[in-house]
Amino acid sequence: MNPSSFFLEVPDDRRLWQDFLAGEVGAFEKLMSGNFRALFRYGSKFTKDREFVKDSIQDLFLVLWEKRENLNPDAAVKPYLMASLRRLMHRHITSRAWVGNEPLADEESYFDMEFSVEHEYIEHESTAVRMQYLEKLLQELPRRQKEVVYLKFFQECTREQISEIMAISPQTVSNLLQIAIKHLKTHWKIEFFIFFLVHFLF
């Protein structure tokens, strides 16, 4: 995991944002390149179509440029960008499905996280089994819970940032998070033993 990879990386986003709002193309360019990779990673959670993600990010910045005069100069830049991308992609995905090209249910419930377990940290077999199980539990989480867990633990977002990105109240964020973690823990206790046995017996 790369701690703080996302939210602490570019300290001058605020300044770039304000220059961009003033119509500076240079600032627009820096803002877009500086945030592109992170947005691309986030966007890729909603679809496997990387061209679609790239197009969406481009659309997002074109829209921002177009309405820059009406944007809040004090917006929290990264959460705002993520929230806007999320909105834009969801709109496209739902509309695609509407026309019948994509199965709606699948796309809507889609939040894809791929994990890889770094074995250099693992000394005991039992830890490896726990990891495998943990991964399975994470994948089983419903979409919204998964997204909250992703933003909280893998993007180090605060509760307020998550609430802005996902357009839900901070209280809902806490609730979702609590349910998710409870799921990750309780299931663990009950099923872990069985999982452990199965792993070693078969």
What torsion, rounded to 10 degrees, do the Cα atoms 47, 52, 54, 56 define?
A: -100
Angle at 33 between CA 28 and CA 35, to 5 degrees: 95
Which residues contact other proteins (rule: CB under 8 A)?
Answer: 1, 3-4, 25, 28-29, 32-33, 36-37, 40-41, 44, 50-51, 54-55, 57-59, 61-63, 65-66, 88, 91-92, 94-96, 98-101, 113-124, 126-127, 130-131, 134-135, 150, 153-154, 181, 184-185, 188-189
Angle at 108 between CA 78 and CA 32, to 5 degrees: 25
CB of 166 to other proteins, least distance (A): 18
Nearer to other proteins, 22 or 25 (CB): 25
Nearer to other proteins, 153 or 196 (CB): 153
CB of 121 to other proteins, least distance (A): 4
d(CA 181, CA 193) in angstroms, rounded, equals 19
d(CA 148, CA 171) in angstroms, rounded, equals 12
CB of 35 to other proteins, least distance (A): 10
